[in-house]
Amino acid sequence: MKPAAVNVVFQSESFRDHEQVVFVRDKATGLRAIIAIHDSTLGPAMGGTRMWPYETEAAALRDALRLSHGMTYKSAMAGLDLGGGKAVIIGDARKDKTPELLTAYASYVDRLCGHFITGEDVGMTVADMDLMAKVTPHIRGTSSGHVGDPSPHTALGVFRGIEAAVRHKLGRNGLGGLKVCIQGLGNVGMALAELLHAAGAVLVVADIREGAVEQARERFGATSIAADVAHTAEVDVFAPCALGGGLNGRTIPEMRASIVAGSANNQLESEGDGELLRARQILYAPDYVINAGGVISIVHDTDGFSFEAMRGDVVRIGETLSEIFERASREGVATSIIADRMAEERLASA
């Protein structure tokens, strides 16, 4: 009898020529993790580790592969000499994250000998990085560095990206009176809310954590919208800062914003969704370009650290986005396609 075909990894649509995918299992701690290394043309693969209670292993693998692929493009567009990688730990960070589990995970990162460098992502904290850094040197974003939590730098990049999008789409400088809906008030979303509020923007917010929404109401005079319909908010800018996949064939036709610019990774559920946004004349700031502030800050976190140099590179995200918007308008194609092309041009010339 012919063995059944196994199409879960190499032939999955998310695989996209990954160099290496490591499946980690540590029986003693219950650890199940996937480390995906997409491309190391430009340097060692860098990408955060996410802890999330995926419903299926296939969903965890898909997330790791898509995020890792995005990191290759993110580093290429940010001009960094880094490749793309990402890891996911399957589990609920609030219940399953133990020091033993993190220590075991870090030992597997160590076995990759610097081919994969990691830091925080959803479900992980600076304290977790501190613990893992005791096991392996290939950890970034610890409290002993100059940078610590990268989220405020990610938020600054998104803020500058929103400014660039508003200039291109609405022909105006400054964000005073601009209506922005932030979906997800976590580390990045809340820091972004603070920057936008200080710039005079009017905020509508959504989160599944009522406490975060309450905080935004009190601190920024924000109004709120239910999390499942946040994409329908009647605003100028929709800023997805929760999880990915929120822009798709169901949500895009319901959107009323003319700009999408937020920090979430993998915002487009599928590649064609970039074109769907363009067809509706919604300007999309490609996720891996606008959210590169965190990885830029981590790369700057060396002995010769300069805050000004780091900030300069984060702020440049706005200029890169303006270039993408102009090229997309000229060539009449989706901004997501132009960003991919620009990243691939850099990879090809490396």
* 207 in contact with ligand NAD (CB under 6 A): yes
Burial of residue 17 (number of CB atoms within 10 Å: 0-12, 13-18, 19+)? exposed
* 187 in contact with ligand NAD (CB under 6 A): yes
CA dihedral 177→178→182→186, nearest 10 degrees, is -60
| Residues in 284-343 that interact with ligand NAD by CB under 6 A | 291, 294
Run of H or E residues at 340: helix 335-349
Strands 31-39 and 283-284: unpaired
Number of residues that bind ligand NAD (CB under 6 A): 27
Give all strands (DSSP E) within 241-344, no chain letters. Answer: 259-260, 283-284
Shortest Cβ 43–ligand NAD spacing (Å): 18
Shortest Cβ 332–ligand NAD spacing (Å): 29
Shortest Cβ 326–ligand NAD spacing (Å): 24
Q: Using the rule CB under 6 A, which residue among 72, 183, 224, 336 binds ligand NAD?
A: 183
* 227 in contact with ligand NAD (CB under 6 A): yes
Amino acid letter at 28?
Answer: A
Phi, psi of 344, deg, nearest 5? -65, -35
* 75 in contact with ligand NAD (CB under 6 A): no
At 100, list the tokens. Answer: 């033993």
* 219 in contact with ligand NAD (CB under 6 A): no
Strands 116-117 and 83-90: unpaired
Q: Using the rule CB under 6 A, which residue among 23, 179, 186, 248 binds ligand NAD?
A: 186
Catalytic residue among 74, 86, 97, 169: 86
Cα(272)–Cα(65) distance, integer angstroms: 18
DSSP per-residue letters across 300-322: H-STT--HHHHHHHHHHHHHHHH
Cβ proximity to ligand NAD, 215 vs 329, nearer residue: 215
Is 86 one of the annotated active-site residues of the chain? yes
- Between 251 and 290, how does the x/- string for binding to ligand NAD read (CB under 6 A)? ------------xxx-------------------------
- Between 104 and 123, how does the x/- string for binding to ligand NAD read (CB under 6 A)? -----------------xx-
* 208 in contact with ligand NAD (CB under 6 A): yes
Q: Which residue has the tokens 């160099």?
A: 19
* 195 in contact with ligand NAD (CB under 6 A): no
Interhelix angle 335-349/57-77, nearest 10 degrees: 70
Contact 324, 283 (CB under 8 A): no
- Give the residues lining the site for ligand NAD (CB under 6 A): 121-122, 150-151, 154, 183-189, 206-209, 212, 227, 241-244, 263-265, 291, 294
Q: Which residues are catalytic?
A: 86
